[in-house]
Structure 1
Amino acid sequence: MVTITQTTTQGPGPARKQGRWRRLPVVHQLHQSVGIQRGMLVAGLVLTALFVLAAIFAPLIAPYGFSQLRDEDGAFGAQQPPSPEHLFGTTVGGYDVLSRVIWGTQTGLGVIVVAVLLSIFAGVALGLVSGYFGGWLDRVLVVICDAIYAFPTLLLAIVMSIAISGGQSSLWGGILAAAISITVVFIPQYFRVIRAETVRIKSEAYVESAKVVGTSNLRIMFRHVLRNATRTLPLIFTLNASEAILTLAGLGFLGFGIEPTSAAEWGVDLKAALSDVSSGIWWTSIPPGLAILLTVLGVTLVGESLNDLADPRLRGRRAVSAASGTVAETSVVPGGTLSAGPGGLAGLENEGRP
């Protein structure tokens, strides 16, 4: 008979506090990730955090306003090269490039927040009702959501932009135009996920028990089904946020974005810099292009990493020795003690052999 005991050295207080921190969403995924998977997640979180912080503190970070053309020394001048006064130079319209790149983060973050919040509320509500009640309503909603996929995202965004603001957008007009068009496209994604989870959860034993005791459908939907069906929403949110940035930039590049005097937007600045490229003026196009690239890259890395960590088949594994604990040397075995060293188990196997 072999008796193996496992010892732990953590106290109840620190272990409890450490366990609470590890249950937080981002911290939990960081603890799960290993190797290149952790590197991708950390890189994505850093880029995304820089984007969010720049949007929040843009009035403090930006050296000038997004539509400012002059200071106490006079006008900035158009297409001025990088200098100590203007680190990234000035645009063809005379705006400071660095300031417009920083202020553009506020516009991008606003589109992400509005679009994803509208998509989540509409998609979750429709998916919950459709999956729980089923019937003809479920079939109609499924057909409508399938039909929406036939519309290209950018084309729908152009139509919505013209319908809302006539193509000449103010700050909130441009944000709503892009956000509403993205919302219409994103709703089917949230609808499908929530509907599939609702169909699975409503057949669980605890839902059937709630029905037996007379619980109302509304209470079952929101207290039992909704709480368990929305666990994958953060993954969809991160993957869709990058598409929102690209749609907003596409609208601005095609001439349906926000006016430069109303707000800073990277797509509009890229369109204005098209004529500069052929003249050898690089500083008006590279900064906003890099801002779009790094923001989309950061959000995509976070989304893909979370998606991999949520799938046990794609999740990396830690070393067995680090996860299995320490085998105590006081374990009693026939003929002596059993150790976790290289020859411990091998010696036990060979003990009874001639």
Structure 2
Amino acid sequence: MLIETAPAPKAPLWTRLPVVHQLRQSVGLQRGMLVVGLVITGVFILTAIFAPLLAPYGYSQLRDDSGPFGAQRAPGGEHLLGTTVGGYDVLSRVIWGSQTAITVMVIAIVLSIFAGVALGLVSGYFGGWLDRVLVVICDAVYAFPALLLAIVMGIVISGGRSDLWGGIFAAAISITVVFIPQYFRVIRAETVRIKAEAYVESARVLGASNGRIMFRHVLRNATRTLPLIFTLNASEALLTLAGLGFIGFGIEPSSAAEWGYDLNKSLSDVTSGIWWTSLFPGLAIVLIVLGITLVGESLNDLADPRLRSRRAPGKTTAGVAGTSVVPGGTLNAGPGGIDGLEASSPASDQHPNDDPFEAK
């Protein structure tokens, strides 16, 4: 039985972009979660980029032309969100803090992706004693608490000084070390599966080198799930940075704005009825982690066929040009496609297990 189908029209390039493709694929609650997560994440990124234009004052500014700001001033007037116990403008500290947060997230994720992917690719492809050693090392590193490791790395890298780049790299590198085993496990498992495929064996028979097979054939197909891990790890990186600042190992306010540090300094304000110094930095952390988590969970659901919602059959746009049922005969589906063909026969004449294209 020969079935001839018309080639489906190729979708525009912009519809095949990673996030756009998942957005078009999502339906119902999944689409709502993804849209909300993308909006929150987009606002966070834009705020970090345009922080110098959006912030009314500098992150360490204590006075303007009219004089000092004053400590613990209530929201209103020139300070829309009030001032902190140290005399800093809360709105400016929240806006500038987005730059610090996104810098740590980008550095940590990029370093962990490169290291984890490289180690997982080599371990899964070559196997042997190297694979066993790397698996044991990554499992041992993964057992360390992220926050404890971040504290140790902060002391080693910055020498106890919480300056801008010392604090940023201390948090980023400690997060990187914790994230490497996650990327290693995913890439190693995919590499072990892909290297046994027929096209990899064909490339090896044709004389392709190990490097060409690894980077041309295996790596391209083993990194499809990385965006899911990236989004989930980004929120964890932000929480680790905030935790460092909250326990006193963050970045000093004269070097950069950091939400965890601001929360630490506002603990005594809460008992005095001064709520604005802790509410807005904490709200920023909650919203951004929520937005990134919603994006990650939505992408995870869409990548899993068991969790992905199906579109209604009526929304299928595939068409059939012609079907050769018997030699010399052609059955035309008509403008209704498959639905039109099936509707042309009475429902009572067909058994649920019958093939509508089977020659009678």
TM, length-normalised to structure 1: 0.89
Give the CA deviation at 1:7. Answer: 10
Cα drift, residue 235 of structure 1: 0.7
Superposed, which structure 2 residues align to 1:266-345 within 5 Å?
266-324=259-317, 344=343
Query: Displacement, 1:213?
Result: 1.7
Per the TM alignment, residue 325 of structure 1 is displaced from its structure 2 partner at its CA by 5.7
Map 1:188-199 to 2 at 5 A.
188-199=181-192
Q: Label 1:210 to 1:160 Cα distance change in 2 as closer, same or farther (>3 A).
A: same
> How far does residue 180 in structure 1 lie from its aligned partner after superposition?
0.6
Q: Is residue 170 of structure 2 the alignment partner of residue 177 of structure 1?
A: yes
Q: 1:220 aligns with which of 213, 232, 245?
A: 213
Distance 1:204 1:54 in 2: 45
Q: Distance in 2 between matches of 1:339 and 1:233?
A: 37
Task: Answer whether contact 1:326 1:340 (CA < 8 A) is retained.
Answer: no
- Return 208-217 or 110-119, whichever deviates more: 208-217
Runs of 4+ in 1 over 3 A off after TM superposition: 5-8, 324-328, 337-341
**2:106 equivalent to 1:113:** yes
Does the C-alpha gap of structure 1 residues 338 and 231 become closer, same or farther in structure 2, counting only changes over 3 Å?
A: closer
Are 1:349 and 2:342 matched, yes or no?
no
1:266–1:292 CA contact under 8 A, matched in 2: yes
Alignment TM-score, normalising by the size of structure 2: 0.88
Aligned pairs for 1:1-354 within 5 A = 16=10, 18-324=11-317, 344=343, 348-350=346-348
Q: Residues of 1 paired with 2:309 and 2:203: CA distance? A: 38
Gaps of 5+ in 1: none
Q: Taking structure 1 as reference, are residues 201 and 80 closer, same or farther at Cα in structure 2, changes over 3 Å only?
A: same
For each residue in 1:201-221, what CA deviation from the matched residue of structure 2 results, as whole angstroms up to 9, or x when unmatched? 111111111111221111111
Instruction: Give the superposed CA RMSD.
Output: 2.5
Q: Contact 2:319/2:338 (CA < 8 Å) preserved in 1? A: no
Aligned CA distance change for structure 1 residues 101 and 140 (closer, same or farther; 3 Å): same
Instruction: Give the Å deviation of 1:21.
Output: 1.9
Measure the CA separation in 2 of the matches of 1:332 and 1:138: 56
Deviation at 1:77, TM superposition (A): 0.3
8 Å Cα contact 1:6/1:325 also seen in 2: no
Do 1:167 and 1:255's aligned partners in 2 also have CA atoms closer than 8 Å?
Answer: no
Return closer, same or farther for 1:174/1:312 CA change in 2, 3 Å cut-off.
same
C-alpha separation in 1, matches of 2:36 and 2:22? 14
In 2, distance between residues paired with 1:252 and 1:278?
20
Amino acid at match of 1:156: L
Once residues 248 and 305 of structure 1 are traced to their aligned partners in structure 2, the CA distance between those partners, rounded to angstroms, is: 24
How far apart are 1:149 and its partner, in Å? 2.1
Asked whether the equivalents of residues 318 and 337 of structure 2 are also in contact (C-alpha less than 8 Å), the reply is: no
